[in-house]
Chain A
Amino acid sequence: MLNIGNKQKRVDGPQKVTGKATYAADITSQFYHAYVLQSTIACGSITAIDTSAAEAFEGVKGIFTHKNLPERLKNKVDYTDPLSPPGKPFRPFYNDKILYNGQPIALVVAQTFEQARYASKLIKVTYEEKKFKGSLSENLKNASADRAPEPASNRGDFKKAFKNSDYTIIREYRQSRNYHNPMEPHATSVEYKSDGSLVVYDKIQGVASSLKYLNGVFGLGADTVQVKSDFVGGAFGSGLRPQYQLFMATLAALELNHNVQMVMTRAQMFSFGYRPEVIHTMKLGCSNDGILQALSHKTVGETSTFEDFNETIVDWSGLLYKCENVNLEYELTPVQSYTPLDMRAPGGVSGVYALECAIDELAHEAGIDPLEFRRKNYVDYDQNEDKPFTSKELMACYARCEEVFGWKNRKDLSKTEPHLLTGYGMATGSWEALQQPASVSLSMNEEGTFTIKCATADIGTGTYTVMSQIAADKLGVSIEKIKFMLGDTAFPDSPIEGGSWTVSSVGSAVASVCEKFKYRIADVWKRNNPDYQAVAFGDISFQKGKLEYRSKAFSFTEIMQQASKEELSIAHSESPAEGQNTHSGYAHCCVMVEVTVDKDLGIIKVPRLVNVSAAGKIINPKTAENQLLGSMVWGLGMALREEGMVDTRYGRVMNANFAEYHIAVNADIHDIHTEFVEEKDDKVNPLGAKGVGELGIVGLAAAISNAIFDATGKRLRKLPMLLDDVLEA
């Protein structure tokens, strides 16, 4: 039976529903527990730190600060990781300098978690404070294009075309800072073995990144440290770079020669990366008949004082619609904060928010239906790169979404409740469909069970399941015969799990290794069956764990027995498909939403959300749909809930907890629907599959913003959009 395209239940489901899935903090060896003390100022230096009372406290095993960082961690040590942006990475305890509020300044290690936490409060710190810029708005005048990578090149003559346009708009859109906040706090459990080697269980989106960091900082090689990560309790980008708990737990384990575990508190989940605050300036012009003539997108984003974090934001405006005259600018400005970090659809979600709001505003100015306007300006090749797309079924998404949502007759749908205003909005979304190099190994044992290994991750996306499906399909065996293993530096290399490229990269490698296996088993069969020596590979088929030739079937296990083999092992490294160079790969979607706004109270609700996506071949509609829905909920959260609030006087996040940093809850979500249109793609990768984990969030906040305008006549032009914004506007 064909597995690809099936709504296969997750193969790791039983572990997840019984509590047996072990995340980084769920390792139950005898650990010392580590607790971090954070700075209470944002800028300056530590003048004194008194740890004596903490050291004397019951159960305390060790305290680490800048005063006692081992010398070997100071000399020519490389603190970068594979995703470090330009600049100098943060180095914990490196000196007395304070770079941001919440910076780890001491680590207390104790027998129990409670002892460590309590003892940390006994440490006395005095500081010398310096002045600083605590927010993007405060430091706008230092924004500079020199710190940022250059966007896609400008084309045509924007100024002239803008001047000659029949309708023009100039608008500013602002987005607040967002924090990833996976449900699982960042954690690292380090087992210290008697020979001095370490097994490190880290919360990370790719164990290779942790290993690279441990190698650079502590000089630990793959021979002395193994990094594992069987389950990751969500990450959304927070695990793209190793976070400070990895440093802390490893430092303590090495210095104390003991197992050490460090788990961040929820408040500490606000003490590292985030989606940066940005300000967009959009200038758009179109002709009387709604043809886009000129488009300018300038974005200023925040970064830290020590690294230049950048995203691809404005390029999306040069990509999504046909336009000959385009001007793109991107600038960064430093604020006294930790470095921002890629967060679900980084850059795209920001750029497309501004673009899709602006397009809606321009369509409104021109008096054209927003869907019609987008169709008029459709583009079927990548103007930034001057390349064709590997595939683009966005028109089909528009058509299907229009139908499912009932866009044409939307005004008749309004159920009139006297105190509610109802509005409808839409947007286009898109995300890259990239493929990275990936390696896998496969082995079959004498019972005909396959073990496939790769150092990739499953952050809830369904990697275990999807890879098992691909293998089962390609090998012609049932899925129960496949054991897919991941999250271990002992396994073949994988790209980090991010960018929605895991299915594309690892999946293609799995498909190829299975293909190789078939050649190998056919060889073994031929060698042991002289009658079949001359059989062509193309005349053999593989089904139900058997090799079939004409009407004869030979089970894999039989073939192995004949050859007296106990195991058959193969490795494979897959390079990106040729189409990744010659073409541009993107997934696309259309999203439509209905909102209601309470006339008197300003409360905004989203009764209906519909997304139709084109993402190539969908390997598992069950997990793919789930990811898209989750991504849409993120869009709603970004639009109406999430805001990391910084008190700029102290540079401190004021709402570092789930009570005050609001993420969408179950009751926020009503009628929500997603589906896929058929999209054939033989260029993007051998599977023809595009990732979906990031697609659903792109454009969604704009659609909600546009719907709020439709309901109230007010453009809020900021995220999140709150009830007081509605009342004040």
Chain B
Amino acid sequence: MNTNLVHFTLNGEPVEVAIEPWTTLLDYLRYHQKLVGTKKGCDHGQCGACTVLIDGNSVNSCLCLLVSLDGAEITTIEGVATADNLSLEQQIFIEEDAYQCGFCTPGQICSTIAMRNRAEINSEEELKDWMSGNLCRCAAYKNITKAARRIYEES
């Protein structure tokens, strides 16, 4: 089998892995690393359940081939909290009840972190646009928007 050697950091740890060229970041996380907090909702870039952070940006990991990530800094939901404390985003999601079943939640949280890192949000509409890449079939949108607004304002 043809493999390529890739180096990156995953939740702060350096990783070197020989990987087949077709393996997506999402399958790598779930099947190889057993980091199952990142979810597969569609495998086609249509739902956002697989959202992770690459160099601080939110990315659909189902649309990323791992071989293309040499040198990248990857953070998944498992790397968001410290050993003892939930992150601000995680605390706010709980306080605002910004979920129901929780399946879309890891992706939603990663999107709020990227927003806090990178985005310039000037209106409610822009905030909703930013969060619209993450579908929530439970439709906890009102609370997700509330949480996202607080995260943007409090950080």
User: Which residues of A line the B interface, CB within 8 A?
Assistant: 9-10, 12-23, 25-26, 28, 112-114, 181-185, 231-234, 236, 263, 265-266, 459-462, 622-623, 626-627, 629-634, 637, 657-659, 663-667, 669, 672
Contact = CB atoms under 8 A, between A and B. Distances in A.
A12 B97 contact: no
A630 B95 CA distance: 18
| Minimum-distance CB pairs A-B, first 3 | A19-B37, A460-B101, A233-B103
A185 B143 CA distance: 23
Contacts of A659: 44, 46
Nearest to A609: B142
B11 to A, nearest CB: 11
Contacts of B23: 114
B141 A18 contact: no
12 contacts: A16-B102, A18-B81, A19-B38, A19-B76, A112-B31, A183-B136, A183-B138, A184-B39, A233-B103, A234-B101, A234-B137, A631-B139
Contact of A266 (B43, B78, B95, B101): B43
Contacts of B93: 13, 17
Nearest to A261: B31
Given A10-B94, A233-B102, A657-B46, A666 B36 contact: no
B95 to A, nearest CB: 7
Given A17-B94, A19-B36, A265-B43, A183 B132 contact: no
A669 B141 contact: yes
Contacts, number: 170
B102 A21 contact: yes
Nearest to B131: A666
B129 interface: yes
B144 A666 contact: yes
Contacts of A459: 101
B42 A657 contact: yes
Contacts of A236: 137
Interface stretch (B2-10, B66-74, B104-112): B104-112
A634 B136 CA distance: 11
B58 interface: no
Contacts of B40: 25, 185, 263
B135 A658 contact: yes
Contacts of A181: 137
Which of A14, A183, A263 counts the most B-chain CB atoms under 10 A from its CB?
A183
Contact of B95 (A9, A20, A629, A669): A9
Nearest to A15: B102
Given A9-B95, A663-B137, A185 B41 contact: yes
Nearest to B89: A17
Contacts of B36: 19, 22, 25-26, 28
A622 B109 CA distance: 20
B103 A630 contact: no
B141 A626 contact: no
Interface in B119-155: 125, 128-129, 131-132, 134-145
Contacts of A667: 125, 128-129, 131-132
Nearest to A8: B97
Contacts of B77: 17-19
Given A9-B97, A21-B102, A183 B31 contact: no
B12 to A, nearest CB: 16
Contact of A234 (B27, B138, B144): B138
Contacts of B81: 18
Interface string B29-63: 00100111111111110110100000000000000
Contact of B132 (A12, A26, A665): A665
Nearest to A674: B142
A232 B139 contact: no
A672 B142 contact: yes
A233 B101 contact: yes
B94 A266 contact: no
Given A114-B23, A183-B104, A663 B41 contact: no
Given A19-B36, A658-B47, A114 B22 contact: yes
B52 to A, nearest CB: 11
Contacts of B144: 666
Contacts of A183: 39, 41, 47, 49, 101, 103-104, 135-138
A666 B106 contact: no
A176 B109 CA distance: 34
Given A233-B102, A666-B132, 6 more contacts: A17-B77, A234-B138, A462-B100, A630-B140, A663-B137, A665-B132
Contacts of A657: 42, 44, 46
Contact of B44 (A12, A17, A266, A633): A266
Contacts of B94: 9-10, 13-14, 17
Contact of A460 (B27, B42, B100): B100
A185 B40 CA distance: 8
B17 interface: no
A630 B125 contact: no
Contacts of A185: 40-41
B151 to A, nearest CB: 12
A28 B31 CA distance: 8
Nearest to B95: A9
A14 B39 contact: no
Contacts of A18: 37, 77-78, 80-81, 86, 90
A626 B140 contact: yes
A13 B132 CA distance: 22
Given A14-B86, A184-B101, A667-B125, A630 B39 contact: no
A719 B97 CA distance: 31
Contacts of A25: 36, 40
Contacts of A462: 100
A19 B108 CA distance: 11
Contacts of B105: 16-17
A632 B142 CA distance: 11
Contacts of A622: 97
A182 B109 CA distance: 19
Contacts of A17: 77, 86, 89-90, 93-94, 99, 102, 105-106, 109
A9 B139 CA distance: 18
A20 B103 contact: no
Contacts of A26: 36
B145 to A, nearest CB: 6
Contacts of A12: 102
Nearest to A16: B102
B147 to A, nearest CB: 10
Contacts of B138: 183, 234, 460, 630
A627 B140 CA distance: 8
A58 to B, nearest CB: 8
Contacts of B102: 12, 15-17, 21, 231, 233, 460
Which of A12, A236, A460, A631 counts the most B-chain CB atoms under 10 A from its CB?
A460
A622 B95 CA distance: 10
Nearest to A658: B46
A657 B38 CA distance: 20
A233 B42 CA distance: 13
Contacts of A184: 39, 41, 101, 103
Nearest to B110: A19
A540 to B, nearest CB: 36
A139 to B, nearest CB: 31
A629 B146 CA distance: 14
B34 A28 contact: yes
A234 B77 CA distance: 20
B142 A232 contact: no
A20 B105 CA distance: 11
Nearest to B127: A666
Nearest to A233: B103
Which of B40, B44, B95, B138 counts the most A-chain CB atoms under 10 A from its CB?
B138
